[in-house]
Amino acid sequence: MKTPKIRPGERVAPRQQHNWDWRAASNFIAGGAGGGLLAFAAFASLWGTDVRALLVAGMALIGAGLTCVWLEIGKPWRALNVYRHAATSWMTREAAVAPFVFGCGALALFTGQPLFVLLTGVFGACFVYAQARILAADKGIPAWRHPRCLPLVAATGFAEGASLLAVATPFVIPQVAGQVAVATAVLVLLLVRVLLWRNYLRGLRSDGAPVGSLRALSAIDGSFLKYGNLLPAILLLVGVLGAPLAGAALVLAGFAAVAGGWWFKYTLVRRAAYTQGFALPHLPVRGRGTSGPAVKPGWGGA
């Protein structure tokens, strides 16, 4: 039996989206890391850690991400219209969480009340989740709407937040036990991220996805695992084992894990973001009187 070859004309197969550029990607990169950092800063505060600098850093990251996306939208002076559709839009919900993050964060900084620190962390976590839901709701991009994408994006935001805490640990948590606890938490989160990443790639390949998405994600697979996860894991183990320069190992591990997560998110939002394309379950009956087989140009896996 002959395999039907397809020569699609212009814009039949999936194509890379160009409406969301580095500015939109920056919102997911910085916002996710910032929200995650706020969540873990709040967690660390339960043990009496002074997390004021971490709160400032988390809010600055979220603010930077939102500023980037504000610079991208077509009508920036209408930006407040974003609050009109809380019923179904996760973009509205993300935007709605932001004032609570900044409000509680400011109150935490000025009053020092633990309640506000905790609330800031909770809203930071909500921000990360809302961002993951924004991508999941975009049905036009198969790599985003895949059900295994949402937990991965959320997990990487929290892994980045914990990793940023690891970067700060030598400066804000002097006790060895505390440093070991942070390193262990980051190790666990990196393990979760790796498992979700592999699960996501497997799911995309088995369920089918645009060839461009599979190619872009496969291209970073090895490096993401090695430099974004394995290298920081080794450094964290060095920190946990209390080797000399354990503090430096924590800092380096944190930066490597964050860089890995940011690289993954940039790839997901920009390079792997291919559209659905078009498909015909039946070719029309013409001339010879028979229908042709189904066609779905530009898709791979499955």
Partner 1 sequence: MTRYAMTIDLRRCVGCQTCTAACKNANATPPGVQWRRVLDLETGEFPDVRRSFVPVACMHCDEPPCEEVCPTKATTKRADGLVAIDYDTCIGCANCVMACPYEARSIVHEAKFAYGDKPIKSEEVRFDSARIGVSMKCTFCIDRIDLAAKTGQVPGRDWEVTPACVNSCISGAMAFGDLDDPDSKVSRLIAENKTFRMHEELGTGPGVYYIWDKG
- Site of interaction with partner 1 (CB under 8 A): 2, 4-12, 15, 17, 19-20, 24, 69, 72-76, 78-79, 81-85, 88-92, 95, 134, 137-141, 144, 273, 275-276, 278-286, 291-293, 295, 297
Cβ proximity to partner 1, 66 vs 253, nearer residue = 66
**At closest approach, how far in Å is the CB of 261 from partner 1?**
21
Cβ proximity to partner 1, 94 vs 165, nearer residue = 94
Q: How, if at all, do strands 209-210 and 299-300 pair?
A: antiparallel
Torsion of CA 296, 299, 301, 302, to 10 degrees: -30
**At closest approach, how far in Å is the CB of 73 from partner 1?**
5
Cβ proximity to partner 1, 76 vs 114, nearer residue = 76
Q: CB under 8 Å to 5, separation ≥6 — which residues?
A: none
Are 45 and 117 in contact, with CB atoms under 8 Å apart?
yes
Round to whole Å and give the CA distance between 265 and 131.
Answer: 11
Round to whole Å and give the CA distance between 147 and 143.
Answer: 9
Strand partners, 286: 290
**At closest approach, how far in Å is the CB of 301 from partner 1?**
16
Round to whole Å and give the CA distance between 145 and 133.
Answer: 9
Cβ proximity to partner 1, 222 vs 290, nearer residue = 290
285: enclosing H helix or E strand? strand 283-286
Cβ proximity to partner 1, 12 vs 181, nearer residue = 12
Q: CB under 8 Å to 70, separation ≥6 — which residues?
A: 76, 79
**At closest approach, how far in Å is the CB of 179 from partner 1?**
41
**At closest approach, how far in Å is the CB of 64 from partner 1?**
18
Torsional sign, CA 114, 116, 120, 126: positive
Cβ proximity to partner 1, 111 vs 291, nearer residue = 291
**At closest approach, how far in Å is the CB of 279 from partner 1?**
7
